[in-house]
Every structure is written in C-alpha cells, then in structure tokens.
Amino acid sequence: MSRRIENPRVLILDCTLEYKKGESQTIVDISDEAAWAKLLEQEETEIFNMCQNIIQTGCNVCVTEKGVSDLAQHFLSKAGISCIRRIRKTDANRLARVTGATIVNRTEELLPSDVGTGCGLFEVKKIGDEYFSYFINCKDPKACSIVLRGSSKDVLNEIERNLQDALNVCRNIMLEGKLLPGGGATEIEVSCRLAEKLDSKSGLKRWSYRAAAKAFEVIPKTLAQNCGANPVRVITELTSLHVSGNVNAGLDGETGEVCDTMKRKIFDTFAVKAQIFKSAIEAACMLLRIDMIVSGIGKRDEPSTSQKLAVNEEAWSPG
C-alpha cells in the first residue's frame, strides 16, 4: 500500500469487499478435497471480480465504509491501489465533497466518472500511536478536518469547545454581517434609552420600562464582577458616558477598565445579541402570563389522603 500518492484518483464505496453469505441458509455437502477447493475457488472468483471492477475505473486510492478481506487487499495492492476500510459515513460524505468522487453502492455499477480527481496529495502520517490519512492540496474543497493535539483529554476537550465557539461566531458573522460594541456597551445603551422613555410613560408601563432598564444592567455588572472591578462604580461611569453621547463606552474584560470598545476592537455579533434580547423578553412575558401556581406538595403536618379516609371511616362506623 502506497502511503504517498500525488494527484490521487479516489474511489469511494459503500459496500463490502468480502465474500457475502446468502440470506437463506444453505447446506453444502463436501465429500472430498476437490469439492472444498472448488468452493474456495468460487469465493476467490467473487472477490476477484469485485477487485477487477475497481481496477477498471483507473483509481489508485479506494475508500470503503465496510470491510475489506485480506484477499481483496492482495489483489488491490498488486494493482497499485491503496485501500482504506471502515470509515464513517460522515467522513465518506466529506471526502466525496472534497475530491469530487461519487459514492457507489455496488462494484458492478462502477464507472470511470465516479472517480474523484480533485485532491492534490494523498498521504498517511502517524501521529502518536495512530495513523491518519490526509487528502490535501484540493482544488475546490467543500469540507475540511481539523486535527487537535493536547497533553491530556481535558485540554483537548477545552480546545474543542473553544474552537466550536469560534466557528459559531464566524458562522453568525457570515449569516448576519453586523457587529455591535461589546463589553456591555450595547446593554447600557439600551438601558439608557429605556430610562429616557420613563417620563413619557405612566402607570404600569412606567414600571415595566423601569424594570427592563434595570435588568439590562445585569450584563455589564456581571462583567465588572468577573474582572474584579467595582460594579457600582463601573455602572455609574458607563451610564454617565452613554448619557453624554459616548455610545461605544464599555468594559475591557482583561483590564477591568472603562474604554471605547470600538477602538479596542471588542465586539458582539448582532445575531447573538438580538436573540439574547428576544429570549429575555419572551421569558419575562411568559412569567407575567402566569396567574396562579398550583403546588402538589402537601404540608408536613397535614394528614395524607389515606389517613383522611381512615378517619372518615371511623367517624361513620356504626355503634
């Protein structure tokens, strides 16, 4: 098996390269050595025909989701074809998108057009105690894999979570290409705008605006507590700056200083921030719709239903 092939011709299969047993039970009577040899020859012929169909496509890398027998590996290796077996369905789909190959379910249906030629280099590398197959230098890749390495599983899990968060941020920016000032600047600005509306409201609306304005201060207050700053001082200073027109004033989470978040490039994605505001308001509205809470837990000193029934039976017993 070649471990390095430039400009490989990749064939992806969703079938096994082994001799398959029949669905119905069959009893074979073998009376002599010649009959046994003929039976083995039939199995070998079946596998040879499968491999011959693969060889005729002109591929030099064969990838299958199922198993590959030792005999099939021998035939393919003799023809100069590297074979990879038992890959996951998701990996096969990604590999098809990268190389341009078509996943085929039967070797009898193989065509030269099913072979993918979009990969520039196939290489097998050993990292630690495991071997990894690389399909790199692709012309127009539609998928990719990221290999993470770390000193322990905990470190790897933390790196994976951070990478997943970073990819989600990039996805949100691609879907909604808008950014907002971070560091609590957006929340403080919304709080100040709601506070300005208090004078024009009356009754219950005034109280709802006041409660919402107070609730939006929770995010910058939490940021101040996390970085060791004084929450009261920070909220007061941020409110003063936003009232005076500095809408980008926020908190630097690394230093705990009040700064211009746009100059320090501290941003929040518009899609995430909009969803946070919507979820918070919907949760508050849901709680306000609750008229009464019925609790199914009885008091400790109160007798249970069976005890009440026994008392009633004693009260109504004759005599």
What one-character-per-residue DSSP string does 160-193 give? Answer: HHHHHHHHHHHHHHHHS--EEETTTHHHHHHHHH
298 located within any domain: no
How would you classify residue 80: left for phi > 0, otherwise alpha for psi between -120 and 50, otherwise beta?
left
Same domain, 74 and 187: no
Report the pLDDT value the prediction gives residue 140, as an integer from 0 to 100. Answer: 84
* Domain final residue pick, 79, 113, 136: 136
Same domain, 8 and 86: yes
Q: Which of 49-58, 188-197, 198-207, 279-288 has the lowest mean pLDDT?
A: 198-207
Same domain, 76 and 98: yes
Q: What is the CATH number of the domain that holds 112?
A: 3.50.7.10
Distances (CA, A) of 137 to 6, 90, 144, 240, 295: 10, 21, 11, 55, 64
Same domain, 192 and 266: yes
199 located within any domain: yes
Report the pLDDT value the prediction gives residue 299, as an integer from 0 to 100. Answer: 56
Report the pLDDT value the prediction gives residue 160, as an integer from 0 to 100. Answer: 94
More confident residue, 305 or 104: 104
Calculate mean pLDDT across residues 222-250: 91
Same domain, 100 and 201: no
Same domain, 57 and 76: yes
123 located within any domain: yes
Whether pLDDT at 166 is above 70:
yes
Whether pLDDT at 202 is above 90:
no
Helix, strand, or coil (residue 298): coil
More confident residue, 262 or 128: 262
Q: What is the CATH number of the domain that holds 218?
A: 1.10.560.10
318 located within any domain: no
Q: What is the H or E stretch that residue 84 is in? A: strand 82-84
Whether pLDDT at 308 is above 80:
no
Q: Contact at 8 Å (CB) between 1 and 121?
A: no
Report the pLDDT value the prediction gives residue 306, as an integer from 0 to 100. Answer: 55
Same domain, 12 and 111: yes
Whether pLDDT at 310 is above 60:
no
Q: Which domain holds residue 130?
A: 4-19+37-136
Distance separating alpha carbons of residues 252 and 127, to the nearest angstrom: 40
Q: Which of 7-16, 88-97, 202-211 has the lowest mean pLDDT?
A: 202-211
296 located within any domain: no
Q: What is the H or E stretch that residue 82 is in? A: strand 82-84
Report the pLDDT value the prediction gives residue 305, as an integer from 0 to 100. Answer: 56
31 located within any domain: no
Measured distance between the N- and C-terminal CA atoms of the chain, rounded to whole angstroms = 99
Per-residue pLDDT band at 23 (split at 50, 70, 90): low
Report the pLDDT value the prediction gives residue 301, as an integer from 0 to 100. Answer: 57
Report the pLDDT value the prediction gives residue 104, as an integer from 0 to 100. Answer: 93
Calculate mean pLDDT across residues 213-238: 90
Q: What is the H or E stretch that residue 126 is in? A: strand 121-127
Same domain, 187 and 169: no
Q: Contact at 8 Å (CB) between 35 and 84?
A: no
Give the predicted TM-score (pTM) of the model.
Answer: 0.63
Q: Contact at 8 Å (CB) between 157 and 172?
A: no
Q: Average pLDDT, whole number, for the chain?
A: 86
Report the pLDDT value the prediction gives residue 227, as an integer from 0 to 100. Answer: 87
Nearest to 277 by CA among 206, 189, 195, 202: 189
Same domain, 118 and 13: yes
Whether pLDDT at 198 is above 90:
no
Calculate mean pLDDT across residues 190-214: 87
Calculate mean pLDDT across residues 157-173: 92
Same domain, 284 and 207: yes
Q: Contact at 8 Å (CB) between 37 and 149?
A: no
Distance separating alpha carbons of residues 236 and 240, to the nearest angstrom: 6
Q: Which of 37-41, 88-92, 135-139, 238-242 has the lowest mean pLDDT?
A: 37-41
Residue-wise pLDDT tens digits, 269-297:
999 899 999 999 999 888 888 777 766 55
Same domain, 205 and 243: yes
How many domains is the chain built from? Answer: 3
314 located within any domain: no
141 located within any domain: no
Helix, strand, or coil (residue 256): coil
Report the pLDDT value the prediction gives residue 241, as an integer from 0 to 100. Answer: 93
Report the pLDDT value the prediction gives residue 42, as an integer from 0 to 100. Answer: 82
Whether pLDDT at 13 is above 90:
yes
Whether pLDDT at 24 is above 90:
no
Report the pLDDT value the prediction gives residue 239, as an integer from 0 to 100. Answer: 92
Whether pLDDT at 304 is above 70:
no
Same domain, 41 and 101: yes
Whether pLDDT at 313 is above 80:
no
